[in-house]
Amino acid sequence: MLTYRERLEQAADYLVLWLQLRAPKETWNLALNGIKKAYDEFGNPQIVIGGELAPYAVYTNEPWISPKWNGAVNPNQGWIQSACQDAVPVLTVIMSGVMTVDEYTLIMNGVL
């Protein structure tokens, strides 16, 4: 049986992978370099989207309000919220402790 900390690490790794899969991919930079797992001061995993390597990340998710866009709608608007919401069922199973390490490995390898 995995500890809570181990399940939390699995959940964070799954969410990073899921967000990378769902990120806009015009240049692939955001998916490949701008979505990472980091740790807070207590050693808890956190998901970072954007950062130094992809500072524009917020603009891929938010409404386009600048006059530059001439009223166009951001085709990726809300992708982060949508991806997180879609990840909830798997995250729930991971955190519940009922998922085996083998099942988790299959999911992370794209088999399930």
Condensed to tens digits (0 to 9), the pLDDT of residues 58-107 reads 999 999 998 998 999 999 999 999 999 999 999 999 999 999 999 999 99
Sequential DSSP letters for 38-86: EE-TTS-EEEEESTTT-TTHHHHHS---SGGGTTPPPTTTTHHHHHHHH
Q: Map residue 27 onto helix, strand or coil.
A: coil
What is the extent of the structural domain holding 36?
4-108
The rounded distance, in Å, linking the Cα atoms of 16 and 35 is 6
- Burial (Cβ within 10 Å: 0-12, 13-18, ≥19) of residue 9: middle
pLDDT digits (tens, 9 = 90+) for 5-55: 999 999 999 999 999 999 999 999 999 999 999 999 999 999 999 999 999
Stated pTM of the model: 0.92
Mean pLDDT of the chain: 95
Tally of structural domains, the chain: 1
